[in-house]
A and B are shown apart, each in its own frame.
Chain A
Amino acid sequence: DAGVIQSPRHEVTEMGQEVTLRCKPISGHNSLFWYRQTMMRGLELLIYFNNNVPIDDSGMPEDRFSAKMPNASFSTLKIQPSEPRDSAVYFCASSFITGELFFGEGSRLTVL
């Protein structure tokens, strides 16, 4: 398997624009997690899905953030409208129930 695949790897956008980050989890995994990493706050769990159903979105910072998982092989994290403080590296990770967690390479977002 190719591992967790995220796109884009880098995104530079202007304040107010919509940003969509994409993730393809490892085949067979039934849990998917979105994390955000910054120097100041470290790794923060934004939302996670189990069997394509959002279980806990308490980490989503505000209504500007939304995430979907329409099927077992694809998830998106959308920010609309984006703000400079959203600049961070966004990671997607997947696992099978309580098993080992595998991370993608991350999407580095810069909002000007």
Chain B
Amino acid sequence: KQEVTQIPAALSVPEGENLVLNCSFTDSAIYNLQWFRQDPGKGLTSLLLIQSSQREQTSGRLNASLDKSSGRSTLYIAASQPGDSATYLCAVMGGDSSYKLIFGSGTRLLVRP
């Protein structure tokens, strides 16, 4: 059974810092991995999608990497801003033809002005 873990559970950083959020998964047979952002009381917004054949994806100040063999992904946020404060979740889609997207519990990020 696929399990997804995110570390740390919460993170507080001063504005301007570069930071890394971690995601690990137990079954390396995946179709893809997605990073999402969730603001309080809102739905989830897709940030980056990495297919299993890819090693990284970039969007603006965000860069996500994928290492299937070790079951890890990282989300790198450059030059953090207070507006980046949110919960970040990673999710993996199983490669067992189930097409299920299994979520981690998220990292709550606070960027202090």
User: Which A residues lie at the B interface, using CB under 8 A?
Assistant: 31, 33, 35, 42-43, 45, 48, 50, 55-56, 91, 93, 97-106
Contacts and interface: CB of A to CB of B under 8 A. Distances in A.
A101 B46 CA distance: 7
A98 B44 contact: no
Contacts of B42: 105-106
Contact of A56 (B89, B98, B106): B98
A48 B49 contact: no
Interface in B24-70: 31-32, 34, 36, 42-46, 49, 51
A43 B46 contact: no
Which among B89, B101, B102, B106 has the greatest number of chain A C-beta atoms within 10 A?
Answer: B101
21 contacts: A33-B101, A42-B103, A42-B104, A42-B105, A45-B100, A45-B101, A50-B99, A55-B98, A91-B43, A97-B99, A98-B32, A98-B93, A98-B99, A100-B49, A101-B34, A101-B91, A101-B101, A103-B44, A104-B43, A105-B42, A105-B43
A99 B31 CA distance: 9
Contacts of A103: 36, 43-46
A31 B102 CA distance: 15
Interface residues of B, number: 23
B99 A48 contact: yes
Contacts of B46: 100-103
Given A50-B99, A106-B43, 10 more contacts: A33-B101, A42-B106, A45-B101, A55-B98, A55-B99, A97-B99, A98-B93, A101-B46, A103-B43, A106-B42
